Amino acid sequence: MNRLRLVAAVVCIVFLSSLVLIPFANADWTMFLSDSSHNGVGTGKPALTPTLLWSYTTGNMVGSSPAVVGGIVYFGSSDDNVYALNAANGIQLWNYTAQAPVWSSPAVANGVVYVGSDDGNIYALNAANGAKIWKYTTGDPVVSSPAVVNGVVFIGSEDGNIYALNAVNGAKLWNYTTGSDVDSSPAVADGVVYIGSDNGYVYALNATNGNQLWNHPTGAYVWSSPAVANGIVYVGSDNDNVYAFNATNGLQLWYFPTGGDVGASPAVVGEIVYIGSDDWNVYALNATSGAKIWNYTANLYVGSSPAIVGGVIYIGSYDDNVYALNAKSGAKLWDYATDGQVASSPAVAGGVVYIGSFDGNVYALGALPTSSNSLFIVTGVMVVVVIVAVVVFLMFRKRLKTWPAKSSSSEEISPPILTYSITNLFRN
């Protein structure tokens, strides 16, 4: 009976430990707009305060959007470098120097960082130390941000192509030619690649072989990167409109006219689409009809793409600010002023917003010291308790196996009890 109690205690401790850690699980922001479908939705806690935790200064503007994986922040800078920083304190872990600015936003998968550069190359770097694993040369700048799905890297290039590369060795699997620059970043969902081109078209391609499934014209550059949710593709165009297309056949479902170019990419949560515009507004639109739910007016262009965590929208603006807005009402919760325009899109992980600015800095805003320390303390205590409980159980079981059932006088001898001192248990 005592052994069963010990086993139950150990199981309970492990279970309670898992409950403590669950809220922090799956909080990574692995690529541009969080995942391959580009919904822009993160898990974990929102950043409820604009407290500056740290900033890291590069040698030039930061338009790349960070990826945050395993406590490390990855991003590019127009100083030609890809950086990896400790997410807790901003200390540089490594940098890799390309031959031109890095506007592309990294994607991280299976210990590898994938990113494009204006030097015409797509790089695969070791996430631990920044060592180059391979590079693929397109010949023209790669501003597009990669999506990595099932061992394949999907990315666009200003050579007019969309590429699918083997994630392990960089071998080209296929390419599709649009005939114009491809600065849009691909979204991948249900075996289909969705992407825009400077020729004004949105494309849907078979992810396996690159065959075109459909295309739809918008009439102007499509720098915006599509988001896919509930069988619908959402994307902006420089003809001032936000579009919704049927993901299967490309049928236009609706469009919403803004007052300026829409180069930013949308984020989608439930029945609402969030997107910024060069008319200085952030919009919340009904995902089914395109009807405006609310708009928030910044002080200049909103070229950053939104991130959404826990009912809060985070977005940057060319007015130098990072904004946090209530997702339901659009009310401003807080803003944080940088010293440069903010075209980088935020990554949100563990209650912290990571974002770049044209002032050359990457900022970490939130409450990391409290939440991080609490997590480490609780985790440490739980680990120690579990170890002690297991050791006590094993020693106790050993004694039970060797304890005599009865004395020579046939009087029952009680087995050791839980109050038996740990010192005595370890004595042998």
pLDDT tens-digit map of 321-334: 999 999 999 999 99
How does DSSP assign 206-256, residue by residue? Answer: ETTT--EEEEEE-SS---SPPEEETTEEEEE-TTSEEEEEETTT--EEEEE
Alpha helices in 299-367 (DSSP H): none
CA 396 to CA 416: how far, in whole Å? Answer: 8
What pLDDT, on a 0 to 100 scale, did the predictor assign at position 43? 83
pLDDT tens-digit map of 394-406: 554 544 444 444 4
In contact, 58 and 77? CB cutoff 8 Å: yes
In contact, 267 and 33? CB cutoff 8 Å: yes
For residue 21, pLDDT beyond 60 = no
Greater model confidence, 16 or 250: 250
What pLDDT, on a 0 to 100 scale, did the predictor assign at position 397? 52
Sign of the CA dihedral with 178 first, then 182, 188, and 189 last: negative
CA 355 to CA 364: how far, in whole Å? Answer: 7
pLDDT tens-digit map of 152-195: 999 999 999 999 999 999 999 999 999 999 999 999 999 999 99
What pLDDT, on a 0 to 100 scale, did the predictor assign at position 48? 87
| CA 50-53-58 angle, 5° bins | 110
Q: What percent of the chain has pLDDT over 90?
A: 76
Region 212-217 average pLDDT:
98
In a 3-state reduction of DSSP, which class is residue 396? helix
201-205, 242-246, 372-376, 393-397: which range is least confident on average? Answer: 372-376
Greater model confidence, 407 or 181: 181
C-alpha count within 13 angstroms, C-beta hemisphere, residue 135 = 18
What pLDDT, on a 0 to 100 scale, did the predictor assign at position 391? 46
What pLDDT, on a 0 to 100 scale, did the predictor assign at position 343? 97
| CA 81-120-264 angle, 5° bins | 75
Amino acid at 17: S
Closest C-alpha to 61, from 362, 375, 404: 362
For residue 58, pLDDT beyond 50 = yes
Region 79-83 average pLDDT:
98
CA 74 to CA 28: how far, in whole Å? Answer: 12
Closest C-alpha to 194, from 240, 138, 262, 244: 244
In contact, 203 and 215? CB cutoff 8 Å: yes
36-40, 280-284, 346-350: which range is least confident on average? Answer: 36-40
Residue 233 φ/ψ region, left for φ over 0, alpha for ψ in the -120 to 50 degree band, beta for the rest: beta
What pLDDT, on a 0 to 100 scale, did the predictor assign at position 44? 81
What pLDDT, on a 0 to 100 scale, did the predictor assign at position 45? 86
For residue 72, pLDDT beyond 60 = yes
In a 3-state reduction of DSSP, which class is residue 81? strand
Region 336-351 average pLDDT:
97
- For the chain, the average pLDDT equals 86
pLDDT grade for 75, boundaries at 50, 70 and 90: very high
28-42, 65-79, 151-165, 185-199: which range is least confident on average? Answer: 28-42
In the chain, what are the domain boundaries?
A: 2-23+374-425, 31-366
pLDDT grade for 367, boundaries at 50, 70 and 90: confident
Q: Is 145 exposed, middle or buried (0-12, 13-18, 19+ CB in 10 A)?
A: buried
CA 217 to CA 202: how far, in whole Å? Answer: 6
What pLDDT, on a 0 to 100 scale, did the predictor assign at position 402? 47
Greater model confidence, 369 or 213: 213
In contact, 33 and 305? CB cutoff 8 Å: yes
pLDDT grade for 421, boundaries at 50, 70 and 90: very low
Q: What percent of the chain has pLDDT over 70?
A: 80
For residue 138, pLDDT beyond 60 = yes
For residue 39, pLDDT beyond 70 = yes
**Superfamily assignment of 31-366 in CATH?**
YVTN repeat-like/Quinoprotein amine dehydrogenase (2.130.10.10)
For residue 374, pLDDT beyond 50 = no
CA 29 to CA 274: how far, in whole Å? Answer: 18
For residue 14, pLDDT beyond 70 = no
pLDDT grade for 315, boundaries at 50, 70 and 90: very high
